[in-house]
């Protein structure tokens, strides 16, 4: 048998040389390998980012600064000067709000300019008290009396008119193209004290439904198809704009979830644009029907334990309301509306009423002390 041990060093030399050649070819001749064998060079398989983390942060900060500079002059603060100690208003931030005694101007909400000649958009709940006089303060320190207020209670939107010219109007975007995870910026008067406060976040959810108040007057401030965001929104931010990364308004900030962090809601700007079109065409918003009751939901479990039907337990009937005139009493349980059973959704009544117009009839099937009664109610017009 031939002795191959003498050839081992030579083999090792050529094997090593071959490895070196392959490595050099891989590093220095990537283009040739790509053309001949379709093999991508390492720098193409694992491309390096052209922007460092620090540069990316600087770009994001610069973007926010640019948006604030662009839109900041269009954001306003809504104030009231009358004594409001005894005035109680519904608040989408939970429960009721009380004013303080005295005539010092109080910042109560935010808004934004939609026309150069003095049209301002805010939330209806910010200016819901028709007995008060409101003012608007612009970012340049000027204050204007509000001459007219048109309220859209079904969407919690209000349009204010001030005598001004040369204002800087916002650019209204398109909320139908929003995506979950999209970057957003909110501007407003946080806590009714800190004007032009800027917060950032993302779109956390779309198509949400919220109850922005109480069931008072049978008119629940039920807002559907709203935007959920984790941008910080506080009382005082209400009515301010929610913006995209190029400074377009994509929503109007309206409420925060009670007992939760980083959950806030905005009305989509497309809803605002529809309301504005109606206002500009007719000079007012469509009338809203209402019943005139305050109620609490009786769950299925509670109903079983108390041997009563599941439904809406009436805790208050508004004096002079359609419900009172039709004979609805405190303690009644509404368990059917227009022949449909009340579900576990506490907004069954408000949803049914939202499809009606003032003077339309609604049939209530009521359980009263063990007896069933059918009551037809001619709905009234909700006061703006």
Catalytic site residue from 74, 107, 110, 125? 125
Q: Which of 156, 321, 346, 352 is catalytic?
A: 156
Is residue 230 flagged as an active site residue? no
Does one domain contain both 136 and 236? no
Model pLDDT, residue 340: 87
Question: Considering 108, 129, 162, which residue would you say is the last residue of a domain?
Answer: 162
Range(s) of the domain holding residue 15: 5-45
Q: Known catalytic residue: 204? A: no
* pLDDT for residue 81: 73
**pLDDT confidence of residue 83:** 57
Q: Examine the domain organization and report whether 186 and 274 are in the same domain.
A: yes
* 14 occurs within a structural domain: yes
235 occurs within a structural domain: yes
What is the pLDDT, as a whole number, of residue 219?
40
Give the span between the Cα atoms of 366 and 359, in whole angstroms.
21
- Residue 18 is predicted with a pLDDT of 53
Look at residue 54 and tell me if it is in a domain.
Answer: no
Mean per-residue pLDDT pooled into runs of 10, the chain (384 residues): 54 51 46 48 53 63 86 92 52 48 71 95 88 90 92 86 94 92 90 82 84 43 79 85 94 74 86 89 80 85 89 90 94 91 67 81 93 94 69
DSSP state for residue 352 in the 8-state scheme: H
In a domain, 50, yes or no: no
Asked if 271 and 340 sit in the same domain, the reply is no
β-strands 75-80, 106-115 pairing: antiparallel
Mark whether 278 and 297 lie in a shared domain.
no
> How open is the CA angle 46-49-53, to the nearest 5 degrees?
135
CA-CA distance, 218 to 376, in Å (whole number)?
15
Q: Could you give the 3-state DSSP secondary structure of residue 217?
A: helix
Distance CA 223, CA 216 (A): 15
Examine the domain organization and report whether 345 and 313 are in the same domain.
yes
CATH (domain of 348): 2.30.42.10
Catalytic residue among 238, 321, 346, 352: 238
Q: What is the pLDDT of residue 333?
A: 93
Query: Is-catalytic flag, 156?
Result: yes
Q: Decide: helix, strand or coil at residue 350.
A: helix
DSSP 148-205: EEEEETTTTEEEEEES--S--PPEE--GGG--TT-EEEEEEEETTTEEEEEEEEEEEE
Total domains, the chain: 4
Among 99, 131, 162, give the residue marking a domain's end: 162
The answer to whether 34 touches 40, Cβ cutoff 8 Å, is yes
Same domain, 355 and 308: yes
**Amino acid 214: pLDDT:** 39
């Amino acid at each position: 048998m031939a002795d191959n041990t003498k050839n081992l060093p030579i083999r090792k030399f050529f094997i090593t040389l071959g490895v070196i050649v392959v490595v050099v070819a891989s590093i220095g001749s990537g283009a040739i390998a790509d053309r001949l064998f379709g093999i991508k060079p390492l720098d193409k398989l694992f491309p390096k980012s052209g922007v460092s983390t620090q540069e990316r942060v600087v770009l994001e900060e610069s973007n926010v600064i640019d948006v604030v500079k662009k839109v900041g002059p269009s954001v306003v603060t809504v104030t009231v000067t009358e004594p409001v100690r005894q005035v109680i208003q519904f608040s989408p931030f939970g429960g009721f709000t009380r004013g303080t005694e005295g005539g010092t101007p109080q910042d109560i909400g935010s808004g934004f300019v939609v026309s150069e000649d003095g049209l301002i958009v805010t939330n209806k709940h910010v200016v819901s008290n028709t007995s008060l006089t409101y003012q608007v303060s612009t970012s340049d320190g000027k204050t204007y009396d509000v001459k007219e207020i048109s309220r859209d209670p079904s969407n919690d939107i209000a349009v204010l008119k001030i005598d001004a010219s040369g204002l800087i109007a916002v650019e209204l975007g398109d909320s139908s193209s929003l995506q979950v995870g999209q970057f957003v910026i909110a501007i407003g008067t946080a806590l009714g004290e800190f004007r032009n406060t800027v917060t950032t976040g993302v779109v956390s959810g779309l198509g949400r439904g919220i109850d922005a108040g109480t069931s008072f007057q049978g008119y629940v401030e039920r807002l559907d198809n709203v935007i959920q965001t984790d941008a910080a929104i506080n009382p005082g931010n209400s009515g301010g704009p929610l913006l995209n990364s190029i400074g377009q308004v994509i929503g109007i900030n309206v409420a925060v979830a009670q007992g939760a962090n980083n959950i806030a809601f905005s009305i989509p700007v497309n809803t605002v644009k529809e309301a504005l079109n109606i206002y500009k065409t007719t000079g007012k918003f469509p009338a809203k029907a209402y019943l005139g009751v305050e109620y609490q939901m009786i769950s299925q479990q509670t109903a079983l334990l108390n041997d009563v039907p599941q439904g809406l337990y009436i805790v208050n009937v508004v004096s002079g309301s359609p419900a009172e005139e039709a004979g609805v009493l405190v303690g009644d349980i509404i368990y059917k509306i227009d022949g449909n059973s009340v579900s576990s959704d506490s907004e069954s009544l408000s949803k049914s009423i939202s499809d009606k117009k003032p003077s339309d009839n609604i049939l209530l099937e009521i359980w009263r002390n063990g007896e069933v009664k059918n009551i037809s109610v001619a709905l009234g017009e909700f006061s703006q």
